[in-house]
Amino acid sequence: MKKPRVLIIGGGFGGYFCAKHLRKICRGTVELEIISEINYFVFQPLLPEVAAGTLNPQDAVTPLRTLLKGVKVRLASVQSIDTEAKQVVLIQGQKRILQRLDYDHLVIATGQVTNLSMFPGFEDHSLTMKNLSDAFRLRNHIIECLEVADVTKFKELKQRYLTFVVAGGGFSGVETIGEMLEMIERILPQYPNISLDEIRAVLVQRGKTILPEMSAELGDYARKKLEQRGVEVLTETAIQSATRYAVCICDRNSEQQQSIPARTIVTTIGNGPSEFVKNLPIELERGKIAVDANMRVKGLNNIWAVGDSALTPVTCKKTGEQSFAPPTAQFAAQAAKQLAKNIHNSLNGKPLTLFCYQSKGMLASLGGYRGVAELYGMRFTGLFAWIIWRGLYIGMLPGFTTRLRVALNWFFDYFMPRTIVYMGEPPTTATHFAYFSKGDCIHHANEIPQAFYVVVEGELKQLLEQDGQLIERTLKPGDSWGSRALKESRLTTGEVIAAEKSKLLIMKSEDFTRLRGVYNPLDQQLESQDR
């Protein structure tokens, strides 16, 4: 008999822990596959330390293949779900043809994405702290700011490059500003023309206290500690918009607006559903996938959802109270464990169980060897809380080598200077030239359109379907294609083959669509050409 196939989309806390527990419970009786757009598991609480250069980026995360031996790991991007055919549709690698994978049970654990559309300019001018690349980019960005500020002769520009604004006073925001400041304090001696009092760090929080998930006492302690180190903590303040040069904030009591010139804006707020989740043939509630108390997607028998992308009902273990799980790693990991049991039971015709849980506590690092912790009702602050933070987190990291690597990073960071190697993004271009030999297929039929193509040299044949008939078109230097498929965002109909050695200019769809969208003459030209 063919083993049932369980497909998991997403390798974060929900997806990874679900795969891990399923592998354990089912012991080879199911075929397990995890699909992820990144090939590693990120323990998000460590990202601020990557941004501060304490941890090497590759050391702070663990490859999914290493963690999930026996589970098939696929680096791919899921486009949609065909619930009728019980298949997911995905693309992987360079060949952007839609491929289909069967499933018997499907777990959606894709998390949320940052959505800053309500704050004009934030999408384009602020950095986020969602994944490893974000953290690594922030680290390099800080170094770049200091490099420029150290040598510039423009006073105003210097002040702007030395101003760091973090939006959001939750765990991520507080840890980010704390660690960032620690990094700056440590590397500043290498920048002889900058003094510490020229550094301006601002934490903007909408609510009355920072770390609102913890008790007010701990929030106040965190605020005091950050302020002692020079951070301006602005509570009851809303972010409004950002420009290339400044961030605009508003005091929520006085409604007074203020513009802070800043080169660095880090945003830790604004989560929303991804395009993938929005387009699912599935009911959403509050922007999340609606699931029943067993974590089954409402109305579907073999699709489940867990983690931040789902609105998971939870029953408090102690009080029996019913609520929804907060979007934290702790809940996602526990819910995933329960979900694994439920899938196993469902496969074996056994009854499902509700998700019951109670938070064990919360921890935050403030940088500079200080932290706050709330565990099983007890509260800790200062160095002791910071030590608990490190101890517990290293215990929670998956994989022995990752634990060892992180511990070694921490150990050596204590003794060694933090490096200021600036690894800025390489100057990549979005357009590129591509060469093809005679007979090469440039574009498959039914490929997802991904670019606008212009012939530079050579000759190509394009097969087009018109009124049900296949016609052939010859493309010569100066000819272009792709604009129509991009505009109508549909699959391409015909393939393009190089009739001889050819050179093309390829412009990525996103850029092309943007340019066409705002630059009228180009749009008009293409309209007439595509008619």
Q: Determine the interface stretch with its own copies among 73-81, 178-186, 373-381, 389-397 (rule: CB under 8 A).
A: 73-81
What part of residues 454-473 is at the interface with its own copies (CB under 8 A)? 454-456
Give the integer Cα–Cα distance in Å for 256 and 312. Answer: 39
What part of residues 130-159 is at the interface with its own copies (CB under 8 A)? 132-133, 136-137, 143-144, 147-148, 151-154, 157
Q: Contact with its own copies (CB under 8 A): which of 416, 467, 468, 469?
A: 416
Task: Name the one residue in this structure whose structure tokens are 């297929």.
Answer: 441
Q: Contact with its own copies (CB under 8 A): which of 437, 446, 466, 474?
A: 437
Which of 111, 60, 145 is CA-nearest to residue 306? 111
Task: Name the one residue in this structure whose structure tokens are 């210097």.
Answer: 158
Q: Contact with its own copies (CB under 8 A): which of 4, 86, 104, 120?
A: 120
CB of 246 to its own copies, least distance (A): 7
φ, ψ of residue 337 to 5 degrees: the values are -65, -45
Q: Is the CB of 323 or the CB of 401 nearer to its own copies?
A: 401
Q: Contact with its own copies (CB under 8 A): which of 2, 84, 93, 351?
A: 93
- Sheet of 378-381: strand order equals 361-367, 370-375, 378-381
What part of residues 482-521 is at the interface with its own copies (CB under 8 A)? 503, 505, 507-508, 510-511, 514-515, 518-521
DSSP states of 34-66: EEESSSEEE-GGGHHHHHTTSS-GGGSEEEHHH
Q: Is 403 in the site for its own copies (CB under 8 A)?
A: no
Please report the sign of the dihedral spanned by the C-alpha atoms of residue 28, residue 29, residue 31, residue 37.
negative
CB of 471 to its own copies, least distance (A): 23
Structure tokens at 123: 């999408």
What part of residues 9-38 is at the interface with its own copies (CB under 8 A)? 38
Give the integer Cα–Cα distance in Å for 376 and 1. Answer: 48
Q: Is the CB of 371 or the CB of 482 nearer to its own copies?
A: 482
Which of 67, 63, 201 is CA-nearest to residue 132? 63
CB of 485 to its own copies, least distance (A): 17
Q: Are 150 and 140 in contact (CB under 8 A)?
A: no
Q: Is 404 in the site for its own copies (CB under 8 A)?
A: yes
Q: Are 352 and 294 in contact (CB under 8 A)?
A: yes
Q: Is the CB of 104 or the CB of 440 nearer to its own copies?
A: 440
Q: Is the CB of 80 or the CB of 241 nearer to its own copies?
A: 241
Binding mask 294-333 for its own copies (x = CB under 8 A): ----------------------------------------
Q: Is 58 in the site for its own copies (CB under 8 A)?
A: yes
Q: Is the CB of 331 or the CB of 436 nearer to its own copies?
A: 436
φ, ψ of residue 310 to 5 degrees: the values are -110, 150
Q: Contact with its own copies (CB under 8 A): which of 480, 491, 493, 499?
A: 480
In angstroms, how far is the first alpha carbon of the chain from the final one? 54
